């Protein structure tokens, strides 16, 4: 039991110093997501105030103001318990920052920063996370969903940014995230894309950046893992130091598909593509050819159990080698048990 006579000022958490320690500089507000079952939950409520401590991620996002650089800090749960979303997390405010406290870089974060949904929860939604605000940052969390069709309905993807009817999530920054489908067989309908960035609105979607993210499913093959769709973009998308995983069931399974609109360019730098099904090789990382004036560059990328990274006149990889040099030093493709750098 908390001592009611303790020196409040001596032990009180200083929110401003904690924000500084997190490297946050903001003119806006900071809200905290705390699990009611955590041992320190009551202390947080008393020290930070009920107005700033929320019991769910959606509740914290809902009180954040648009375009004010408000932050939502998610505190890991005791014992690593995952939180159930139930319905999609809707991020419809501009320039909101959502970060896991104490996350580790690279998308493999603490289990206490996991949000899951739709396995048995009521209120099925069409996605696990839906971003329609501009300038949104999300980092240091894990979103674990059942992509596809199950007893609760159909979802189009675990993580979606933008739709045909609303949402212009320009300047979306996702970093140190795990976006994973846990469907175990394709017969459960688990082949829907895991990440969708849809540029169908008139202004399109521009300046999309993913860094150190893990996206995939180790049991089945989403089609694709990442769907860059739309008639107006997405444009200027950059994926840096990301890992994409699938268990391919056919050569046509692709990690990426592109939209029909003007993407301007797409960059994939130091990304890894793992097809863990050694018996089936993906014919290509990127499905289809890029447009004549919409180059896609694979810079220092590596693909395992994949025939090639892409096709088309506007599909490039660097470094690009040929002849004997390629046989010795081309590390972009690894097939079966072959070494990444053949002897």
Q: Which residues of the chain have pLDDT under 50?
A: 1-2, 4-14, 17, 119-124, 150-154, 164-165, 327-328, 335-343
What kind of fold does domain 8-334 have according to CATH? Answer: Pectate Lyase C-like (2.160.20)
Round the average pLDDT of the chain to a whole number and report it: 78
Closest CA to 275 of 247, 301, 300: 247
pTM for the full predicted model: 0.85
Kindly give the pairing relationship between strand 153-155 and strand 148-150. antiparallel
R_g over Cα of the chain:
21
Q: What is the spatial distance between Cα 190 and Cα 146, in angstroms, rounded to a whole number?
A: 7
**Residue for token digits 């200027």?**
236
How would you list the strands of the sheet with 209-211, edge to edge?
A: 53-54, 30-33, 71-74, 97-100, 137-139, 173-175, 209-211, 237-240, 266-269, 296-299, 315-318
DSSP bridge pairs for 333: 303
Q: What is the spatial distance between Cα 98 and Cα 106, in angstroms, rounded to a whole number?
A: 16
Domain ranges of the chain: 8-334
The pLDDT of residue 338: 46
The pLDDT of residue 239: 96
DSSP bridge pairs for 174: 138, 210
Q: Virtual CA dihedral for 148, 151, 154, 160, nearest 10 degrees?
A: -70
Kindly give the pairing relationship between strand 195-198 and strand 157-161. parallel
- Most distant CA atoms of the chain, gap in Å: 79
């Amino acid at each position: 039991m908390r001592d009611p006579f303790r020196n409040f000022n001596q032990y009180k958490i200083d929110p401003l110093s904690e924000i500084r320690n997190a490297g946050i500089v903001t003119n806006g507000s900071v809200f905290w997501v705390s699990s009611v079952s955590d041992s320190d939950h009551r202390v947080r409520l008393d020290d930070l105030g009920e107005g700033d401590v929320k019991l769910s991620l959606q509740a914290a996002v809902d009180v954040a103001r648009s375009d004010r650089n408000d932050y939502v800090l998610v505190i890991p749960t005791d014992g690593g318990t995952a939180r159930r979303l139930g319905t999609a997390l809707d991020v419809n405010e501009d320039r909101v920052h959502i970060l896991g406290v104490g996350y580790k870089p690279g998308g493999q974060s603490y289990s206490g920063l996991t949000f899951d949904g739709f396995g048995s929860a009521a209120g099925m939604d069409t996605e696990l996370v839906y971003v329609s605000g501009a300038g949104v940052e999300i980092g240091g969390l894990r979103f674990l969903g059942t992509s596809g069709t199950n007893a609760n309905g159909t979802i189009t993807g675990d993580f979606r940014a933008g739709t045909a009817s609303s949402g212009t999530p320009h300047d979306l920054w996702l970093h140190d995230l795990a976006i994973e489908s846990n469907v175990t067989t394709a017969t459960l309908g688990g082949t829907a894309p895991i990440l969708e960035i849809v540029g169908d609105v008139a202004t399109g979607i521009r300046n999309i950046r993913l860094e150190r993210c893990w996206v995939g499913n180790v049991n089945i093959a989403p089609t694709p893992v990442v769907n860059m769709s739309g008639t107006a973009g997405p444009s200027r998308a950059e994926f840096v130091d990301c890992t994409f995983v699938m268990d391919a069931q056919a050569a046509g399974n692709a990690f990426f598909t592109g939209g029909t609109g003007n993407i301007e360019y797409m960059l994939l730098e130091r990304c890894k593509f793992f097809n863990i099904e050694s018996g089936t090789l993906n014919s290509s990382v990127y499905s289809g050819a890029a447009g004549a004036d919409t180059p896609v560059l694979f810079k220092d990328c590596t693909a395992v159990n994949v025939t090639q990274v892409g096709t088309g006149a506007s599909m490039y990889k660097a470094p690009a080698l040929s002849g004997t040099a390629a046989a010795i030093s081309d590390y972009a493709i690894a097939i079966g048990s072959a070494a990444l750098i053949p002897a």
